[in-house]
Structure 1
Amino acid sequence: MTIPYNIPISDLDYCLEQLLDHKPPKILPPETIQHLCHTLKTQLLSVPNIMPLQSPISIVGDIHGQFHDLLEIFQIGGSPPSTNYLFLGDYVDRGYYSVETISLLIALKLRYPDRVFLIRGNHESRTITTNYGFYTEVLNKYNGSAEVWTYITDLFDYLPLGATIDGKIFAAHGGLSPSCQQLDQIRALDRFREIPHDGIMADLVWSDPDTEILDFKLSPRGAGYLFGLDVINKFCHDNDLMQMVRAHQLCNEGYTSYWKGKCLTVWSAPNYCYRCGNRASVLEILYYSGESKSMGEPNANENDVKYDDYKNRFEDSIVHKVQGVLPGQFFNIFEASPENDEDTSKGKGVNGINSDEELVGNGDFFCSYFKERPRKQHVEYFL
């Protein structure tokens, strides 16, 4: 039997310092990544397939190895533990910094286990990462060794498949499945394996909404399905849900709202692949706007996001109509980080060259890193 255990906070802060306090960020040694992955696997064994989470929380879509844009998210939206985050998968592949991105998220999950939550996307797969960049990046950054790729892809098998927020919002990476009518069917799955080619688990990470259809249709991706209005209406009705939030699709403006907010897509990789020129977003959910709550009674406590900080934008009915979100929700839209543009101009394909700088500083390195940087104003974009 595997017994869960914790890594000392000082060790986790040291890992965070390596990634945050150096340019370029220092890659962690293979033995450190092995230790981090093993520790997180033991902790994820007891986590259900669908995590029951509460607002306030910020939901992040695909990142795809864009490390500097991940830091931009924390700069504009607040860093853990002051902000709760749910990441919807696709942490690696495509971008130049998949190793650094997933290393940071693993360290953050271990450092702030009740504030940072990770679910699985279709790129958290051995097959996909072999073909779309992560495997090659590991070989380049670790002198031809694939050990780190093995440690991390083994960890991917342990990631949950979804989450509920306030019991009313279902979050997954991709979409719905014709084989699944009830959340309990997802809860009963054996998720500790490679993503299969078909079935509920595959559909959860591969499917997409389509406003042109009502039922299910085979996806042009070659995996998963397209699903229409009748499908999501029935799924929400049968499971007492109000909304589905997912990622998985590039959105030029950073987000897409389907069917008057019944389904939302959040995309968090700006200037995707360093050439698409798109914006990105984080979906901030301050509270669930059900019958039991009003605009003036958010579900927050003194340790969480302060309602007054967000009151004006969340009460703006124009924002809700334009963005197609429910009251209490807001797409925080942002552009690519300056480092993203710099990498593009220099054509970087491989990072990971560590310098011999001396380590300095003490305390909570993650929070202190962002406290020293000026917070950017969110970018509001209206169609």
Structure 2
Amino acid sequence: MKLINMGMDIFKKEPNLVKIPEPVVVVGDIHGQYYDLVHMLNKAGDPSKLNYLFLGDYVDRGIFGLECMMLLVAIKLNYPKKFVLLRGNHESRNMTESFTFREEVIQRFDNQVYDAFMELFDSLPISCVVDDKYLAMHGGISPDLNLIEEINSVNRFQEIPLEGLFCDLMWADPMKDENAKHGDFSDNPERECSNYFGKKPVKKLLKANKLMSIFRGHQVQVDGFKMHRWGNKDSFPYVITIFSAPNYCGYFDNKGSILILDEGNLQLKQ
């Protein structure tokens, strides 16, 4: 409980939209895969020498969500300015009750510890600007978002709602490539909330905020990442999806990737 409360004290002081400079390692979904998380940290580098940005979904599905959270919070306490943990859609009461994290915590501790974790999740920031060039979140963009500063107007200290800007930052997905080239926003029946977004609103948001691209997680990828270029194979991607849990759920046979931004260069490591 002490570690949870100490972490919460730090997260509560952070804005909804945090900022972090390069060099930075961007990490996608972890989903309780503790040994893969440790391997990734060892491979990526010492957090005292570079920055880390995690895009959320630390728990559920994998069996070591507790260990993942305790390790990440412990590192955050040691490097509070260099280690950014964003909230994902699974950092919520609804998802942890539907999947595995609530049961994992209660079997080993009790409801009081589970409730403390939920309060910790409510305190996590929900978006990040990386090196003043990239916008990062767990899910995606929203029709309610025009200027990124509007993210700071959200009340994040609550359960994730089923609609609106906060919901979309946690839940939205890019359209499939064939639809995205001319796509705007559309309903997202797969998620039963939020939206699909296409090239048009992404391009508009990036231009209005003088940004280059969007980093997000939320979707398993065979190669551990996907560059959403939407119509031009040689162009800089409008969106980059990063997924860091290899062999997700034990049967997807996907790779896990991280993204490293250093001296303006992007490098993906599997």
Instruction: Check the 8 A contact 2:10/2:80 in 1, yes or no.
Output: no
Q: Which residue in the other structure is 2:39 paired with?
A: 72
Kindly provide the CA deviation profile for residues 229-256 of structure 1, in whole angstroms up to 9, marking residues without a partner as x: 0010001011111110000000011100
Q: Which residue in the other structure is 2:252 paired with?
A: 276
Answer yes or no: is 1:38 the counterpart of 2:5.
yes
Query: How big is the shift at 1:140?
Result: 2.0
Instruction: Check the 8 A contact 1:77/1:83 in 2, yes or no.
Output: no
Q: Which residue in the other structure is 2:266 paired with?
A: 329
Query: How big is the shift at 1:42?
Result: 2.0
Answer yes or no: is 1:266 the counterpart of 2:242.
yes
Q: Which residue in the other structure is 2:77 paired with?
A: 110
Of 205, 223, 235, the residue aligned with 2:170 is 205
Query: How big is the shift at 1:45?
Result: 2.5
Answer yes or no: is 1:87 the counterpart of 2:80.
no
Q: Which residue in the other structure is 1:138 paired with?
A: 105
Query: How big is the shift at 1:78?
Result: 1.3
Answer yes or no: is 1:216 the counterpart of 2:185.
yes
Query: How big is the shift at 1:37?
Result: 2.0
Kindly provide the CA deviation profile for residues 100-150 of structure 1, in whole angstroms up to 9, marking residues without a partner as x: 1111111110111122110100000011101110001112222xx222211
Give me the whole-angstrom Cα distance separating, in 1, the residues matched to 2:247 and 2:30: 11
Instruction: Check the 8 A contact 1:256/1:264 in 2, yes or no.
Output: yes
Aligned length: 259
Amino acid at match of 1:264: I
Give me the whole-angstrom Cα distance separating, in 1, the residues matched to 2:84 and 2:227: 23
Query: How big is the shift at 1:180?
Result: 1.4
Of 158, 180, 194, the residue aligned with 2:123 is 158
RMSD (CA atoms): 1.1
Q: Secondary structure at the match of 1:217?
A: strand
Q: Which residue in the other structure is 1:347 paired with?
A: none
> Counterparts of 1:5-84 in structure 2 under 5 Å?
34-84=1-51
Amino acid at match of 1:216: F
Listed as ranges, the gaps of 5+ residues in structure 2 are 230-234
- Percent same amino acid among aligned pairs? 37
Q: Which residue in the other structure is 1:194 paired with?
A: 159
Give me the whole-angstrom Cα distance separating, in 2, the residues matched to 1:245 and 1:231: 15
Amino acid at match of 2:31: H
Give me the whole-angstrom Cα distance separating, in 2, the residues matched to 1:58 and 1:196: 29
Amino acid at match of 1:254: G
Amino acid at match of 1:66: Q
Instruction: Check the 8 A contact 1:282/1:332 in 2, yes or no.
Output: yes
Give me the whole-angstrom Cα distance separating, in 2, the residues matched to 1:128 and 1:232: 27
* TM-score, normalised relative to structure 2: 0.93
Amino acid at match of 2:116: Y
Give me the whole-angstrom Cα distance separating, in 1, the residues matched to 2:223 and 2:140: 20
Q: Which residue in the other structure is 1:26 paired with?
A: none
Answer yes or no: is 1:226 the counterpart of 2:202.
no
Instruction: Check the 8 A contact 1:179/1:199 in 2, yes or no.
Output: yes
More strand by share: 2
Query: How big is the shift at 1:215?
Result: 0.3
Q: Secondary structure at the match of 1:241?
A: coil
Query: How big is the shift at 1:287?
Result: 2.8
Instruction: Check the 8 A contact 1:120/1:161 in 2, yes or no.
Output: yes
Give me the whole-angstrom Cα distance separating, in 2, the residues matched to 1:51 and 1:182: 15
Answer yes or no: is 1:169 the counterpart of 2:131.
no
Amino acid at match of 2:172: S
Amino acid at match of 1:43: I
Give me the whole-angstrom Cα distance separating, in 2, the residues matched to 1:225 and 1:83: 34
Give me the whole-angstrom Cα distance separating, in 1, the residues matched to 2:220 and 2:115: 28
* TM-score, normalised relative to structure 1: 0.66
Q: Which residue in the other structure is 2:232 paired with?
A: none
